[in-house]
Amino acid sequence: MRVTVLGAGAMGSLFGGLLAERGHAVELLDVNAAHIARVQAEGLTLDTERQGRRVVRVPITRPDAASQRPECLILFTKTLHTEKALEAARGALQADTLVLTLQNGLGNAGKLSQFVAPDRIAVGVTTVPADMVEPGHVHSHGEGHIRMMMAGGMHSERLGTLAQALTDVGLTATVDPTVQAAIWQKVAFNAALNTVCGVANCTVGDVGRSAAARQLAHRIAAEVLAVAEADGQRIDLVGVHATLDHALDHHLAHKPSMLQDLLAGRPTEIDAINGEVLRVARRLAIPAPCTEALDALVRLREGLVRDA
Ligand code: NAD
């Protein structure tokens, strides 16, 4: 397939690199000059659980210099960069390009609809992990999967072909009509752990070791899931709380991306996580006081690290 990846950081480089390695026509688009220069000069170093460390040759350029006309575009910027990235990559989008977002948070399809016809938008959620070790070098250790569907719920042969291509490279992908509930469930998890770790400047294990912080994380998840249910989603409440406990008990040294962003002085994805939940909660007149408090505190820290 001809696949363009917009936002070739940790996740985008992993997905694009694995597809390129298998012979698909991949173009990576990013704005990180150091990453672009390293991948152009030396190739992309991929380090994965299954295949270890190797170098993959894959074209990379800035979005406004895109040359491929893709069948599929996978969007993997952080949520706060979606509009700017798509604006610059407009030239790459054909009338029939399928655009898939696997970004965290809510409201991603709505942002895409400013640039892409509704019947070309696919949404999804992934538990595949990835980290950028340094420019040109991506690391992914641990299992994960991808669930996706057309945002409008219709059947798409091309989405099925993309799911198969991803599965063939070890990124187990399924087309699943219950993705919206899965997206909400991941948002509940992220709203609970990312924010508490971000504000407290601590690891997931630190939260797990504090009875009060563990209880707070569960209260936030419960609030978010109550909003999801009121919005019409069928939620696996027991499953989300069990996943949260598993992370608190096992991912002890993990620093969630929101904490990593704050430590690096970067803005976070708070608006696509707590911000979106609170917009739905207000529309449905459902109280979400813990989610609201953490939203305010993360935004406070964002301002402090930006001005530091
Ligand atoms: P990342 O910061 O590593 O990558 C984002 C990339 O987007 C960066 O390379 C950045 O330079 C690029 N970018 C920023 N502005 C751009 C623009 N205007 N045009 C083109 N590129 C631009 O982030 P990531 O960890 O790869 O996460 C991407 C998304 O996937 C996020 O929504 C995240 O929440 C989600 N996610 C991440 C993981 C993970 O393990 N890393 C897992 C599941 C979901």
Query: In terms of Cα–Cα distance, which of 39, 49, 239, 34 is closest to 129?
Result: 49
Place 42 in a pLDDT band, splitting at 50, 70 and 90.
very high
Ligand 1 center from residue 12 Cα (angstroms): 7
Q: Compute the distance between CA of residue 107 and CA of residue 179 in angstroms, rounded to an integer.
A: 13
Which ligand 1 atom is at minimum distance from the Cα of 32? 11
Q: How many CB atoms lie within 10 A of CB 144?
A: 12
- Pairwise pLDDT comparison (307 vs 26), residue with the higher score: 26
Ligand 1 first shell, C-beta below 6 A: 6-12, 29-32, 35, 63, 76-79, 81, 84-85, 88, 103-104, 126, 129-130, 132, 257, 269
Mean pLDDT of the chain: 97
**According to the model, what pLDDT value does residue 293 have?**
98
Place 288 in a pLDDT band, splitting at 50, 70 and 90.
very high
All domains of the chain in start order, with CATH? 2-177 (3.40.50.720), 180-307 (1.10.1040.10)
> What's the whole-number mean pLDDT along residues 114-139?
97
* Cα torsion through 181, 153, 110, 275, rounded to 10: -10
Ligand 1 atom 40: residue of nearest CA: 129
Ligand 1 atom 11: residue of nearest CA: 32
First to last CA, the chain: 45
> What's the whole-number mean pLDDT along residues 41-56?
96
Q: Compute the distance between CA of residue 154 and CA of residue 6 in angstroms, rounded to an integer.
A: 24
Ligand 1 center from residue 76 Cα (angstroms): 5
**According to the model, what pLDDT value does residue 292 have?**
98
Place 145 in a pLDDT band, splitting at 50, 70 and 90.
very high
> What's the whole-number mean pLDDT along residues 134-162?
96
> What's the whole-number mean pLDDT along residues 60-83?
98
The DSSP letter of residue 89 is T
CA distances from 251 to 107, 132, 162, 258, 294 (A): 28, 18, 31, 15, 21
Ligand 1 atom 4: residue of nearest CA: 9
Ligand 1 atom 38: residue of nearest CA: 129
Instruction: With H, G, I as helix, E, B as strand and everything else as coil, classify residue 131.
Output: strand
Which ligand 1 atom is at minimum distance from the Cα of 129? 40
Q: Which amino acid is at 242?
A: A
By percentage, how much of the chain surpasses pLDDT 70? 100
**According to the model, what pLDDT value does residue 143 have?**
84
| pLDDT at residue 121 greater than cutoff 90 | yes
> What's the whole-number mean pLDDT along residues 251-278?
97
**According to the model, what pLDDT value does residue 90 have?**
95
Q: Are 88 and 63 within 8 A, CB to CB?
A: yes
**According to the model, what pLDDT value does residue 100 have?**
98
**According to the model, what pLDDT value does residue 281 have?**
98
**According to the model, what pLDDT value does residue 250 have?**
96
Pocket test for ligand 1, best of 32, 78, 82, 183 (most atoms within 8 A of CB): 78
Ligand 1 atom 2: residue of nearest CA: 9
**According to the model, what pLDDT value does residue 263 have?**
97
Place 173 in a pLDDT band, splitting at 50, 70 and 90.
very high
Which ligand 1 atom is at minimum distance from the Cα of 132? 3
Ligand 1 center from residue 9 Cα (angstroms): 5
Q: Compute the distance between CA of residue 129 and CA of residue 280 in angstroms, rounded to an integer.
A: 28
Ligand 1 center from residue 7 Cα (angstroms): 6
Ligand 1 center from residue 231 Cα (angstroms): 28
Q: Are 265 and 271 within 8 A, CB to CB?
A: no
Q: Write down the H helix ranges in the chain.
A: 10-21, 33-42, 82-88, 108-112, 157-168, 179-200, 204-209, 211-230, 237-250, 257-263, 276-283, 289-307
Q: Compute the distance between CA of residue 126 and CA of residue 132 in angstroms, rounded to an integer.
A: 17
Pocket test for ligand 1, best of 13, 48, 76 (most atoms within 8 A of CB): 76
Ligand 1 center from residue 103 Cα (angstroms): 8
Tens digits of residue pLDDT in 92-102: 999 999 999 99
| pLDDT at residue 308 greater than cutoff 90 | no
**According to the model, what pLDDT value does residue 142 have?**
84
